[in-house]
Amino acid sequence: MASMATTKRSNLYEWFKTITFYEILVGMKATLSHLLHYRPVTVQYPHEKRTLPDNYRGMLALLRYDDGTEKCVGCDLCEAACPSRVIRVVSAEVPGEPTKRYSKEYYMDMTRCLFCGMCVDACPVDALGMTREFEWAVYDKRQLHLNKQQLLAIGDRSFPVREKRLELQHPNVAFFNVAFKHVPPKPD
Amino acid sequence: MTEFGLRLAISLTQIAAVMGIVVITVLILTLAERKVLGWMQDRMGPMEVGPYGILQPFADAIKLFFKEDIIPAGANKFLFTVAPILCLIPAFIGFAVIPWGPNQTFEINGITVRPFVISDINIGILYILAFASLGAYGIILGGWASNSKYSLLGGLRSAAQIISYELNIGLSIVGVLILSGSLSLVKITDAQAGGFWNWYLFALPAPQIFAFVVYVISSVAETNRVPFDLPEAESELVAGFFTEYSGLRFAFFFLAEYANMVLVSCVAAALFLGGWNAPYPGTIMTLIGLPSLAWVENIMWFAVKTYSFLFLFFWLRATLPRLRYDQLMRFGWKVMLPIALGNIVVTSLAVFFYQQMK
C-alpha cells in the first residue's frame, strides 16, 4: 500500500513536472546562463592565430648550412621512406668532387603529402625540416608541386638560424659531407 | 478630391512607415538571432562585416540581391514565381491592424488621423488569422512547384502543421475575445489599460495563462521555427519548401518567415500583454508633466514586449531540438487542443458568473 502511495505521489510529481515544462526550463536556464556568462571559445582565425606547438608538422622544407650550402646529399632515403611517394630526388655527383653527391633536382608533390614526417626522420644529414606553415591553400593544384628552389626558399624563411657546417658531424655518414682537403686531422 | 488625396497620402505614409519599421526589425532580427544563438552556444556570431558584425544584414541583403535566380527544370514557372509573393504579402498585410501606440487622434485640414494604427477594423484579429492562413498557400505552392521531393515533403509537412496549429492559435485567442467582447485589436488593447494586473494574461475573472502558453507554443509552430521547424528541417529535408529557391525569391521567403515572427509577437503583445500599455497605471511622461509625449513611452513598452517575445523565439531555438513529426501532431491535437478548448469553457463560465455577481 505504501509503495503504491509513493508511486502515486511520484507519478503526480512527474505529471507536475510535465505540465510545467520543467525539463525544458532547465535547458532554457542552461542556455541563458551561457548567454549571461559569455565566454566564447572562438579564435578569430585570420586576425588572431593560435600558437602552434614546437613539434608541429607543417610544410616541408629543405635546409642549408650557415655558409649557404645545401645540406641535401642526394641519398634518396627520404624518397624511400615516403609512404605516399611525394618526393622525387635526382641525385648527381658534385662536379669536380667525385666523392660528393648532391640532389640535382628535388621535387615534392604536396597534394599527396600526409605530413607524417618520416622523410625528416629518414634524412641522415637533417636536410629536411617541417615548418609551422600551414596556410597553403592555392587556386591551382599545380602550385603545390614544389621544386628544389621553392623548398629551399621555404626553409630559408622558416629556419633563419642555420646549423653550422661541421665536417664529420655525423659519424655514420661523414663520408657524404667530407671535403677531404680541409679536414683537420683527428685528434688521437 | 483634395480630401481624398490627403487621406490617400496619409494612409500611404503610414503604410510606408510601418513597412519600413517591419523591414528594419527583420534586418535587426537576422543579426540578433545569429548573435544571440552564438552567445548561447559560446560562439561569437558574425564578426567580420563592420564592428562586431553589425553590418552583416546589409551584406546578406546585397548578396541575396546579386545571386543568380535559378528556376529548376520541370518546375511550374508561374507558381514557382508566385509562391514567394503569396508567402510575403500575408505576412506583411497583418500589420495593418496592429495598434503600435495609444489610441489618440489629431486633425489635418478637418481629417481625423490616428497615427499609431493604419486601420482599426472591427474584425482585426480575425483578419490577421485569415491572412496568416493564406500564407500557408505560399509555402505549399512553393514546395509543390519546385519539382523536388524535398520541397514537396516540406510543403506537405508545412500544410499539416499550419492547419493543426492555426486551429490552436484561433482557440487560444477566443478566451481573450470573450473577456474583451471585441475583435478589434485597438479595443482589446484599450481594455487592458491601467497596470499589468489588467493584462489578459493576469486579468480577473479568468487569467489567460494557459491560453498564453498554448498561443506561444502554437505561434512557434505556426512560424515554422525551432523546435517545430519540420517544414524546413535542414538535417532531413535540406531546406524544406525553399530548397530550390535562390536569390531574391529565397529572400522573400526569408523575409516572410521573420515578418511572421514579428507579427505573432505583436499579436501576443496586444492580446495578452496589454499592447502598448505600461505595466503600471498611466505613464511616467504624464507624471513628469509631458502628457503630449506619453505616446513615446507607450510605443517603447510595445517594442519591449514584442522584442522580448522575439527573444523567446531565439532562446527556444538555442535550447530545444526538433520534434519528430508524429510528436508534433500528437502534441498539437491531443495536448494543445484540449487545453485551448478547456480554457474557452472555463473563461466563459467565469465571465458569466462574474457578470451575474455584479
Q: Across the interface, which of A30, A31, A42 has its CB nearest the CB of B43?
A: A42
CA–CA distance, A31 with B315 (Å, rounded to integer) = 7
What is the count of residue pairs from A and B with beta carbons less than 8 Å apart? Answer: 37
What are the grid coordinates assigned to B62, written together?
546585397
Residue B52 domain flag:
no
B358 pLDDT above the threshold of 50: yes
Q: Is A36 on the interface with B (CB under 8 A)?
A: no
Query: What does the pLDDT read at residue B112?
Result: 75
CA-CA-CA-CA torsion for A127, A132, A134, A140, nearest 10 degrees? -30
Full domain range(s) for residue A68: 60-182
A177 pLDDT above the threshold of 60: no
CA–CA distance, A96 with A81 (Å, rounded to integer) = 30
State whether A24 and B47 contact (CB < 8 Å): no
- The more confidently predicted of residues A108 and A8 is A108
Going B196 to B199 to B204 to B207, the CA torsion angle's sign is negative
A180 pLDDT above the threshold of 50: no
Mean pLDDT of the region A114-134:
89
Mean pLDDT of chain B: 84
Please list the residues that pair with A128 across neighbouring strands: A62
The H or E element containing residue B108 is strand B106-108
pTM, rounded to two decimals: 0.79
Count: domains in chain B = 1
Query: What does the pLDDT read at residue A185?
Result: 57
Give me the percent of chain A exceeding a pLDDT of 70.
Answer: 85
Residues A78, A127, single domain; the answer is yes
State whether A44 and B315 contact (CB < 8 Å): no
Radius of gyration of chain A (CA): 30
A42: closest chain B residue by CA: B43
Q: Which residues in B lie closer than 8 A to residue A30 (C-beta atoms)?
A: 319
What does B111-127 look like in DSSP terms, one character per residue? Answer: EEE-TT-S---TTHHHH
Residues A22, A94, single domain; the answer is no
Residue A96 domain flag:
yes
CA-CA-CA-CA torsion for A60, A62, A65, A66, nearest 10 degrees? -70
Band of the pLDDT at A184, cuts 50, 70, 90? low
**SS3 letters across chain A:** CHHHHHHHHHHHHHHHHHHCCHHHHHHHHHHHHHHHCCCCCCCCCCCCCCCCCCCCCCCEEECEECCCCECCCCCCHHHHHCCCCCEEEEEEEECCEEEEEEEEEEEEECCCCCCCCHHHHHCCCCCEEECCCCCCCCCCHHHHEECHHHHHHHHHHHCCCCECCCCCCCHHHHHHHCCHHHCCCCCC
- The more confidently predicted of residues B201 and B344 is B344
For residue B184, give the nearest of B250, B133, B121, B117 by alpha carbon: B121
Measured CA distances, A141 to A108, A153, B70 (Å): 13, 19, 30
Residue A50 domain flag:
no
Residues A8, A77, single domain; the answer is no
Q: Is B15 on the interface with A (CB under 8 A)?
A: no
3-state secondary structure of B1: coil
Count: domains in chain A = 2
CA–CA distance, A86 with A77 (Å, rounded to integer) = 13
Residue A91 domain flag:
yes
Residue A160 domain flag:
yes
What are the grid coordinates assigned to A177, written together?
659531407
Q: Which residues in B lie closer than 8 A to residue A48 (C-beta atoms)?
A: none
Q: Which residues in A lie closer than 8 A to residue B318 (C-beta atoms)?
A: 31
Residue B95 domain flag:
yes
Query: What does the pLDDT read at residue A2?
Result: 56
Residues A97, A154, single domain; the answer is yes
Residues A26, A91, single domain; the answer is no
The CATH number of whichever domain residue A106 belongs to comes to 3.30.70.3270
Mean pLDDT of the region B54-68:
87
Full domain range(s) for residue B73: 67-357
Please list the residues that pair with A89 across neighbouring strands: A106
Q: Tens of pLDDT along B280-319?
A: 777 777 777 777 777 888 888 888 999 998 999 999 888 8
What are the grid coordinates assigned to B142, written together?
512553393
Query: What does the pLDDT read at residue A139?
Result: 93
Residue B77 domain flag:
yes
Residue A120 domain flag:
yes
Radius of gyration of chain B (CA): 21
Most distant CA pair in chain A, distance: 105
Q: Across the interface, which of B36, B43, B315 has its CB nearest the CB of A28?
A: B315
Q: Which residues in B lie closer than 8 A to residue A41 (C-beta atoms)?
A: 42-43
Residues A19, A71, single domain; the answer is no
* Angstroms from A19 CA to nearest CA on chain B: 10
Q: Tens of pLDDT along B5-26?
A: 888 888 888 889 888 988 888 8
Of the segments A117-121, B132-136, B146-150, which one has the largest average pLDDT value? A117-121
Residues A68, A31, single domain; the answer is no
Give me the percent of chain B exceeding a pLDDT of 90.
Answer: 1
What are the grid coordinates assigned to A127, written together?
636536410
Q: Which residues in B lie closer than 8 A to residue A42 (C-beta atoms)?
A: 42-44
B1 pLDDT above the threshold of 70: no
Residues A100, A17, single domain; the answer is no
Residues A91, A8, single domain; the answer is no
A181 pLDDT above the threshold of 80: no
Band of the pLDDT at B154, cuts 50, 70, 90? confident
Residue A138 domain flag:
yes
State whether B319 and A40 contact (CB < 8 Å): no
Q: Is A46 on the interface with B (CB under 8 A)?
A: no
Mean pLDDT of the region A74-87:
90
Please list the residues that pair with A73 across neighbouring strands: none
CA–CA distance, B305 with B276 (Å, rounded to integer) = 8
Residues A151, A111, single domain; the answer is yes
**Alpha helices, DSSP H, located in B199-246:** 209-222, 234-237
Residue A76 domain flag:
yes
Residue B226 domain flag:
yes
